[in-house]
Every structure is written in C-alpha cells, then in structure tokens.
Chains A and B, each alone.
Chain A
Amino acid sequence: MKSQLLRVTAIEPLSPLVSRFRFEHPEGAALPLFSGGAHIVVEMPDGEILRRNAYSLISDPLDGSCYEIAVRREDTGRGGSRFMHTKVAVGDLLRLSVPLNLFSLDLRAKKHVLIAGGIGITPFIAQLRQIARLQVPFELHYAARSRDEAAGLKLLPDVPQIHVHISDEGNRMDLGAILGAQPLGTHVYTCGPEGLIDAVAETGRRLGWPKAVLHSEVFMSPPPGAPFEVTLEKTGRTISVAPHQSLLEALEASDVEIEWSCRGGACGRCETGVSACDGHIEHHDHWLSDDEKASQTKIMPCVSRFQGAKLALDL
C-alpha cells in the first residue's frame, strides 16, 4: 500500500463525538488529488498494536494542500477512533495511504441523490464539491437522531438541495417520497448503517429502480467476537486472533504478508483461500457471493471471523 507521512495541522470538534482532523505534507508539498467518495487508511501506532482504520476524505478533492477526515469516537469500538481522539495532537506525524475510491459518483448520472445516515455523511462532503463543479442536479438527504449528533451540519453548505432529517424532532426521512419522484437517469448513493442501505434497496426494488443505479457504502469496521485460532497451511504456524482484533490484524502482527486496501470487507483485495474448515466462518464482508460464503472455501480476513474446531488458510 503506497503511503505518505503527513502532519496533523488541525483538530476541531464538530459535535460531542465527532472531530475533524486535517493533515498536510510536512514540507508543504502538494498531496495527490482524488475523487469524491475516496478514503484513506490511517496507521495508528498504539503501543504494541499497529491499528489501521479507513476514513472517507471530506476535504475538497481538487485541493492538494491538505486532507481532512471526520472521526466519530466509538468508546465501545476496537480502539482506533479512541486513539485518534485521545492520543493524536496537532503537530504529530501519521502515515496515511494514498486515496482510493470504492464509492465514486457515476459520472453518467443526470442527477445524483445522496442519502446519508449519521456519520455516513462523510463521503458525501467531498462528493458535493465534485458535483458542484460538474454542475449536475443533485439532492442530499441527511438523517441523524438528534441535532447534537449531526456532526455533518457544520460541513454542509446552506443550499436548498440539502435536506436534514432529525428523528428527535419528528422529521424522519421518507424514502418512498424521495425515490418516488426522481427523473430518469438519476443515481442514488447511500452511506450509513446497514438498515438504511437495506431500506433504500428495498424501496428502490418496490418502485422498480434498476439495481445498477443504487450505490451504497456500509460503514464497516471489523466486528469483535470470540477469540479463535487459525493454521497457516504453508508453514504450519498457528495464529491466535483476540476478541477485539481482526484476522487480518492478527496475521500482520505475526508478520504474515497479505495484500489489503479497504480493510472493510468491500474491495476484495485480501481474499484468502480456506484449505480446511471444521466449524463456521462468520462472513461479515460485502465481497464474496452467497455461494462462496456458503462453501466456506474463502474468507475476507479484514472483517470475517471463525467459530469451531479448525480453520486452515492457504497461506
């Protein structure tokens, strides 16, 4: 993974739980530009553990002077966001991967409809800048539980195409109404909890939308679970995976080389063959097909786990 060491030049709270971090090149060099929806992976040297979390870029894609991300503190999470909130200070140097986009706009669209739930607003902040340059019609719907939690409010421009739905204020998002009145050639993008993505897909199906125009990105971090062991077929080594560690992280901690990109079960890069499975693979990814998952012959070590007697990998 190509990466660069960047300096933290600003940290600003956007809400009680969400802060914005700005990164710049230490010598002021221009950073690679990107497209709306791209993410970077931040490396966090947290004591013994090297954490790597993916975050959507929220800065202007055509501004190479800085990268910005918004990080929501997850106190019950695995520790990456806590590290960002409690251990990172202005002036620190952190290693960031170059931007990669697995959630880009479809540039053929006659109109873009963006639907965000909670912290899922982040990829749309950069996409809005790109859409403004393209001068294509759009609307954005942003759902949050309360105004206090709606960190995105500080990041969104004040334009009539942006609709904020605060459920505490009784203003819930009506997907049927949103999807029911769009012109042909519209593309829909959803980012947020899986329930929201499923609801958009279901509403789209009911209203006869083609699947290919409904895009989504789940905000996915490796789920914790019971500890388990894996055997590496080629070397015979056995590696233990802790409850709050992903299989990918456990492999990396044991110096096993493995390719990766998104670390969220979407890109497919870390797909690994399973040579023996006596038990049940908990597939959490969005990459393998249902048949592949059922066959238990492949695993995505970035997010998936295992329960049972024996799991052996083609490594």
Chain B
Amino acid sequence: MTIRFNDETFRGDYTYHNSPEAIRRFPFPFDQDSYMYSVNIEPHAGGRAGSPFEKRFDVDEHYVSEMKDRAITLAEDPMRCQSLPHMDLAGWDFLELVMTSKAEDYPELFELHRDGDRWHWINKPMGIEQRFTFLDTTTLPCGPLEYITRQTQGDHALLDQREGNLWMDAGMITSQADWSLDFDIGMNFFEWHAPVPKAHEMGVFQRALKFLLNLQQGAPVRRLNWTMTVNPRLDTSPENYHKWGPEKRTITPETVGSKQYLRVELQTLWRLPRSNAIAFPIRCYLLSLEDLVSVPKWGRRLHRVLRDLPDELAEYKGFAVNRPTIVAYLAQFDDGEPTSPGIFPD
C-alpha cells in the first residue's frame, strides 16, 4: 500500500481536500436514519480492508499536513500538550503502543528496532530518525507523550484510573471540537462530560465508566462521535473561538456545500500495561457536504438525521444557526428512497 500525502492547510486558505479514495473510506457515523446517544462501543479489532477501522492507528493522506498544523498550534500555545508529573509512565506506555503498532501495521512507513531499552525509531513520511533509551526522558527531545503525538494523527488524552474513576491527567489536544485540555486537565470522567446534554439523565456516562474501568489490555474498543464544522479546521478550540466562531456566519446556500464539513471522531480506548492508565486517541476526519453527497446513501441519511435531530443537540454541537441552510441543501439529495443498514457506501 502506498499513500500519497497531500500538501494542504487546515487554516488560512484552507486547501485541505479529500481524494476520491479518502471520500469512500470516510467513517460515516450514522448506521440508521436517526441519531441519539448510546454507549456505542465495539471492539477495536480491525475492520473492513481500507477502512479507517482496519489498523490500530490509521494513517491517511492527511498525515504529514496534519502534523504540520499541530506544530503551528503548539508553537502558538504550548499548553495544548500537558502531562501531570505522575503521567510520565503512561506517556511511555503510549509511545510504545503507537511505535510498535505503526511499525507492524505500516512497515513501509515506520520502523522500530529494539535492543533491550535502546530503541531506534524511523518515521519515513516525516523524515524523523531517533535513537533513545526507553523510559529515559532525557534521551528524547521532549516528553514521551509529546514526542509520539507530534507524529500521530488525532488528539490523545491519557486517563489515570483511581478512586473508581478516570482522570484526564495528560493529553495532546490540538484538533478538538470546542473543548480545552487546559480547562479539563485534572478533571474526572463526570466533570469533563458535564456540558453534554441529555446523556447524564440517560445514565450513559455511568455505564460507560463502569465498562472502561474494566477495560482489558490487548482488547481496545472504539466508538464514533460527530459534529459539524465550518471550513476544514482542526483547531476548533475555545482558546481560538474568535478565529473560527465568526466563520459560522459565512455559510450561505451558495457556500454550504463546499464550506460546511461533517466532522467525525474515531475514538479508541486502550488499557496501558505499566501505568494502568487508559489511552484515549480521538482521531478527526473532515468531509465537505458536497463530497459527502457523492455517496447517495450518505446524502439521504445525513439529511434525515440533521432534519430530525433534537434542538438541544444541534445547539450543543454548535451548528443550530446554520441548520436550516444545511438541511435545505441536503434535501436536494434525499429522494425519499430507503437506505441500507450500516455505515458503509452501497
């Protein structure tokens, strides 16, 4: 498999784009014509060939440009990557997980050579070669979490497990759907989920937490989450709301197809061995509505989901202001035909 890495931007002139193959493999999140919260967790144990579920850490055509965008965000705001002192071991656990997974899953792109604690890592797409001593932070240019997440698509939180709860005590968060690591760091599972409407009353978080506290090594799980974003911007953070918030007002019937994106998060959860922490990668995929409707099933279904979504969910996900325009646009692509089960294109 060869991947041609795009040269593209996620800010300014927004040259981000999806190839026809990237459109086909987009993780469309709706398996039916309506949406409500559920603990929609399944084993992260591979998936359809070519899909983003196939490998443990999906690498796609956006990889190199996405890492450049992360570096820009970090240069402007170093607090996007934080690790409380007790999370160092979890950072090493996660570095090991990513390096061994990528070297096995993408041998033409990544290599890892280990001689006891002396490791040699080669990242060909980014032109990185690093020799270091495992568990010795002085042998890396930065902490282990920052080091490996500067080379891994998606945001990454490390959750400490204690007192029957999970605590967001470390993370690299630069492509988030309007939440802040600097605000959430040190919070527990219920605290950082407090803004989510409806789900608390449904007992969703109690059940999810109970499940996660028993998460086993070697048995990672995944779920999809979604929202809507104007322009293909990774950094939709509260810190930079003044930059992207006003862009919501640029949506018109003429621009909605090209400027409105469905934003999907492929979230995975991994028990880490030495630290007993949980790694929580949140991988973001962006697809414009005009690209999305090139798959007829998705055009029909997204129209029905967004048309029927409860108001408070549209409000919480931040697109209530543009919902009428989005639904009117999608209505053109919904001929009322039934849709097939599952998320994949027909």
Contact = CB atoms under 8 A, between A and B. Distances in A.
Interface stretch (A29-37, A165-173, A237-245): A29-37
A108 B86 contact: yes
Interface stretch (A44-52, A98-106, A140-148, A193-201): A98-106
Interface string B193-219: 000000000000000001001101111
A32 B273 contact: yes
A38 B276 CA distance: 9
A62 B217 contact: no
B114 to A, nearest CB: 11
Interface in A238-276: 261, 267-269, 271
Chain A CB within 10 Å — which of B86, B162, B273 has the most?
A: B273
Contacts of B227: none
B314 interface: no
B275 interface: yes
B275 to A, nearest CB: 6
A212 interface: yes
A35 B275 CA distance: 6
A267 B213 CA distance: 8
Contacts of B274: 33-35, 61-62
Nearest to B96: A33
B22 interface: no
A309 interface: no
Interface of A: 1-2, 32-35, 38, 61-62, 97-102, 104, 106-108, 212, 261, 267-269, 271
Contacts of B275: 35, 107
Contacts, number: 57
Task: Classify the interface of chain A: helix, strand, loop or mixed.
Answer: loop
B89 interface: yes
A107 B273 CA distance: 14
Contact of B210 (A61, A62, A99, A269): A269
A2 B218 contact: yes
Contacts of A35: 273-276
A268 B214 contact: yes
Interface residues of B, number: 20
Given A107-B160, A108-B86, A269 B276 contact: no
Contact of A99 (B84, B163, B217): B217
A98 B218 CA distance: 8
B118 to A, nearest CB: 16
A10 B84 CA distance: 41
Contacts of A106: 86, 162
A2 B217 CA distance: 8
A34 B219 CA distance: 14
Contacts of B217: 2, 32, 34, 98-100
14 contacts: A34-B217, A34-B274, A35-B273, A35-B276, A38-B276, A61-B274, A100-B214, A102-B213, A104-B276, A107-B86, A107-B89, A212-B163, A268-B210, A269-B214
B6 interface: no
B9 interface: no
B161 interface: yes
Contact of A104 (B84, B162, B218): B162
A2 B210 contact: no
B86 A100 contact: no
Given A100-B216, A104-B161, 13 more contacts: A32-B217, A33-B273, A35-B275, A35-B276, A62-B274, A101-B161, A102-B213, A104-B276, A107-B86, A107-B160, A108-B85, A267-B213, A269-B214
Given A107-B89, A107-B275, A98 B160 contact: no
B163 A34 contact: no
Nearest to A38: B276
A72 to B, nearest CB: 25
